[in-house]
Structures are given as C-alpha cells and as structure tokens.
Structure 1
Amino acid sequence: MSTAQPALSPLTPRAVEIVSAARVLLEERGAEALTMREIAASLGIRAASLYKHFPDKAAVEAALIERGLAELGAVLYCALAEPGPVAAVLRAYREHALGAPHLYRLATAEPLARDRLAPGLEEWSGTPFFLAAGDPHRAQALWAFAHGMVILELDGRFLPDSDLDRTWAEGARAFAGGS
C-alpha cells in the first residue's frame, strides 16, 4: 500500500485561478453561490469564458473536491505520526472539516463523482483511517463515526451544553481500545 499522493488532474494556470475563486465563493457564501455566473463575476470575467477551462459546473466542483480530498489526506497522513493515531486522525479530520465546512459538505453530501476524480485519490485520502484502525471494517466504522460527528456538529444538532471534545475523545478511546 503506497502512501504517495496520486497526481491530481492537471489544471491550466487560469483553471487554478477559477478553482481558487470558486473555493472562496463556496466558503464565504455556501454551495448555492457556486454558479458559473458567480464564479466569473468574482474573477471579473464573463461566465462564457469559464467554459474554455471547464465544460460545466460539475467539473469545477470535481476540481474543488479533488483538491479538498488531497488536503484532507495530507492532514490525516501527518496525524498518523502523532502519538495515539486514532485520536490524532479524528482530531485532524474534525479540524479540517470544520475549517472548510462548505467544501466538506460539497465532498460528502451527494454521491461522489468518482469518474471525475484523479484515480486512487479517494482511497489514498481515506487510507489513514485504515492505518490508524488496522482493519478495513474498523476503518470504515471510524470514518462513519467521524463523518457523523462532523455533520451533527456543523448542523448544530448537539445540545448546547454538550462537551464535544469529550465525545470525540470517547469515540477515539472506543476505536483505539480493541477489536
């Protein structure tokens, strides 16, 4: 199992600018603001100009998701070097997701357009869960715990007096504790 990050889909310098502008829009105003017209306006160009670089909005979203998965994977691999890899991976996942909540939702709220992503990227970005958990089924359960906790936290679904740090720590303890 290689821990080398797969190469991302190549983008022209102008396409990189478009994706960067789309990311700013996404995080500032949410997915509903992520339109070709809004992206173009943020760059001071006409929407038609975007189609020279991306065939459609879904391609822009795929580029955002691809870069988000690469960032997440890099953060999670770094976390593996910390003591207590399960807790470290969970902490890194939470911080990354909460730090870019709209990108996180874009990447996880709908079925993933895997055919639009760099081959192997999704598996690579999730492999730290396997490396921390030591078993593919425990890794999936660990990721499901992390994802569920993040979504509930983003949606404000925990009671106001909930100690979420402790809840995350208890989850980490449960997953690190045995088979």
Structure 2
Amino acid sequence: MADPFTDRLTPRARDIVSAARALLEEEGPEALTMRRLGDRLGIKAPSLYKHFPDKAAVESELIALSLWETAEVLEAAEAADPGSVPALAEAYRRHALAHPHLYRLTTERPLPRAALPPGLEYRAAAPLFRACGGDEDLARAAWAFAHGMVVLQLNGRFPDGADLTKAWETGAAAFQPATADC
C-alpha cells in the first residue's frame, strides 16, 4: 500500500498534516488547534478550512498516518523475524514510545474508521494476526497487552528499577502460539 496521502490529499493538505504532526509531536495535543496550525504555516486559521472541514478531519489524517507508520514498522519486524510476536511487540513499543502524542491521539478515542483509507486498519493489524496463527482473539489479546504496556510506560506507572524489557519479553512470549511458523 502506498503512502495514504499521496492519492487522497493535495500537496497543500499534506503540508498541513505535516505541520500538524510536528506541532503535535513537539507540544502535545493541547497545542494542536487550527489557530496554532495556521500560525505554524504562516496563514490565517480560516484558510485551513479550504482543505479540511474541521480539526477532527486533520486529526483523522494524523491517525491514518500513525496507522500507516505502524504497519510499516510491524511489516519490517515481521520480515526480519517472521512469526515472532515478541519481535512485533518490541517494534510496536519502540514506535509508540518514539511518538507518544501521535500514539495517544491514535489510541485514546474511537477510531474514525470511515475517514481512514480502505484496508489501512487491517494492514496495521495483519502482521500480528499472522504471527498469532490467524487467531483473531489471540491477536487482539496480544495487542491489548502491548497497548497497555505502552500506556503504563508513557504514564510512568512502573516503579523505579522495574525491568520493563523483561516484562515486555515475558508478556509477548505468552502470546506466541505454539503452532506459529517461526
């Protein structure tokens, strides 16, 4: 699947999404307003509405970008270590922790499925589904583990000295199906 924006967005709309991502990544979700976005681009906020109907539409594009990047990261991990739930969990962890504000925007509210490119959500989930031997319930449970660990880590909920690498390894290994082709 190609970049989710090349065919769907105009070059100016892609610039807006890039600026929105930079603002989000640098300052967090509170900073992501149409006014601040316009300021960053050197235009008046009302000009943004020529490209996006509202802030939610900009956020939907950021979520699509996040899912596309997650798919890329997980596909690379899958190619390097086929069938490995631990490898996918580690790749997921690294990407989420590297982009905490984008991760939270993507995961802390209902997914705007109707606004996403067709097949993107499936693509992001497919490597884990395959690693879990096609078992949807096991794949969902493994994702819930990884998501919960990321959120706990982002929120500083583990005690000082906790061996998070060991916790990740132990948890991810618990979801590795015995029948996986590794």
TM-score range normalised by the length of the shorter chain: over 0.9
1:6, CA displacement in angstroms? 6.8
Q: How many angstroms apart in 1 are the aligned matches of 2:19 and 2:177?
A: 43
1:171, CA displacement in angstroms? 1.1
Q: Are the equivalent residues in 2 in contact too, given 1:22–1:34 (CA < 8 A)?
A: yes
1:8, CA displacement in angstroms? 2.4
Q: Which residue of 2 aligns with 1:150?
A: 150
1:165, CA displacement in angstroms? 0.5
- Aligned AA for 1:57? K
Q: How many angstroms apart in 2 are the aligned matches of 1:102 and 1:77?
A: 22
Q: How many angstroms apart in 1 are the aligned matches of 2:173 and 2:94?
A: 18
Of 98-107 and 117-126, deviating more is 117-126
1:124, CA displacement in angstroms? 1.2
Q: Are the equivalent residues in 2 in contact too, given 1:89–1:129 (CA < 8 A)?
A: yes
Q: Which residue of 2 aligns with 1:57?
A: 55
Q: Are the equivalent residues in 2 in contact too, given 1:7–1:118 (CA < 8 A)?
A: no
Q: Are the equivalent residues in 1 in contact too, given 2:34–2:45 (CA < 8 A)?
A: yes
Q: Which residue of 1 aligns with 2:28?
A: 30
Identity %: 56
- Aligned AA for 1:113? P
Superposition TM-score, scaled by structure 1 size = 0.93
Aligned pairs for 1:27-176 (under 5 A) are 27-83=25-81, 85-134=84-133, 135-176=135-176
Superposition TM-score, scaled by structure 2 size = 0.92
Q: Which residue of 2 aligns with 1:8?
A: 4
Quote the RMSD (CA, aligned, Å): 1.4
Q: How many angstroms apart in 2 are the aligned matches of 1:118 and 1:100?
A: 21
Q: Are the equivalent residues in 2 in contact too, given 1:6–1:118 (CA < 8 A)?
A: no
Q: Are the equivalent residues in 2 in contact too, given 1:6–1:119 (CA < 8 A)?
A: no
Gaps of at least 5 residues in structure 1 are: none
1:71, CA displacement in angstroms? 0.6
Q: How many angstroms apart in 2 are the aligned matches of 1:124 and 1:107?
A: 15
Q: How many angstroms apart in 2 are the aligned matches of 1:82 and 1:8?
A: 24
Q: Which stretches of structure 1, 4 residues or more, deviate above 4 A after TM superposition? A: none
Q: How many angstroms apart in 1 are the aligned matches of 2:23 and 2:102?
A: 10
1:178, CA displacement in angstroms? 3.5
Structure 1 residues 101 and 122: alpha-carbon distance in aligned structure 2, compared to 1, 3 A threshold = same
1:120, CA displacement in angstroms? 1.5
- Aligned AA for 1:74? E
